[in-house]
Amino acid sequence: NFEEQDFFPDAAELIQNFLQTETDTAARRNAFLMLFRVDQERAIDFYVQNADNILKYGDGFQLIILEMTRKVCRQDPAQKSRFIKVLFQLLQSASSAVSFEAAWTLVSLSSAPTAVRAAATAYTNLLNNG
């Protein structure tokens, strides 16, 4: 059974360091995806530490964040609170794909009236602007 950790034991640390300094959006997205696959906790830590900058990282990165959000919250619903603020921000994304995925993610994680209303508004905006 092949394990990435055995083959390249410091991969997660190297990727995390790369993410701290990388400015290219595609490289950052790919590195984050790799970090998420190799060490999910480090990926979540990076997300938490950089949540205020997620909107600057490009729509490809944001879609990976949404994928991670769904996966992490399915595994551990108590994690939802770590992701809600960014979900609401991503509803306003200029990218239709990000806005749609954020709305879908939000309603899949919460049935609170505020969340449902925000997602419905995002869907309506997508229909009106599309």
What is the pLDDT at residue 91? 96
pLDDT for residue 7 is more than 80:
no
**Residue in 28, 100, 101 with CA at minimum distance from that of residue 58:** 28
Mean pLDDT of 61-84: 94
The contacts of residue 36 (CB under 8 Å, 6+ apart) are 43, 64, 68
What is the pLDDT at residue 76? 94
Mean pLDDT of 70-89: 93
What is the pLDDT at residue 128? 93
What is the pLDDT at residue 130? 65
pTM: 0.87
List b or e across 98-125, with b for residues whose CB sees 16 or more CB atoms inside 10 angstroms: bbbbbbebbbebbeeeebeebbeebbee
Residue 12's pLDDT band (cuts 50, 70, 90): confident
50 conformational bin, left if phi > 0, alpha if psi -120 to 50, beta if neither: alpha
- What does the alpha-carbon distance between residue 130 and residue 62 come to, in Å, rounded to a whole number? 20
- The two most distant CA atoms of the chain are separated, in Å, by 51
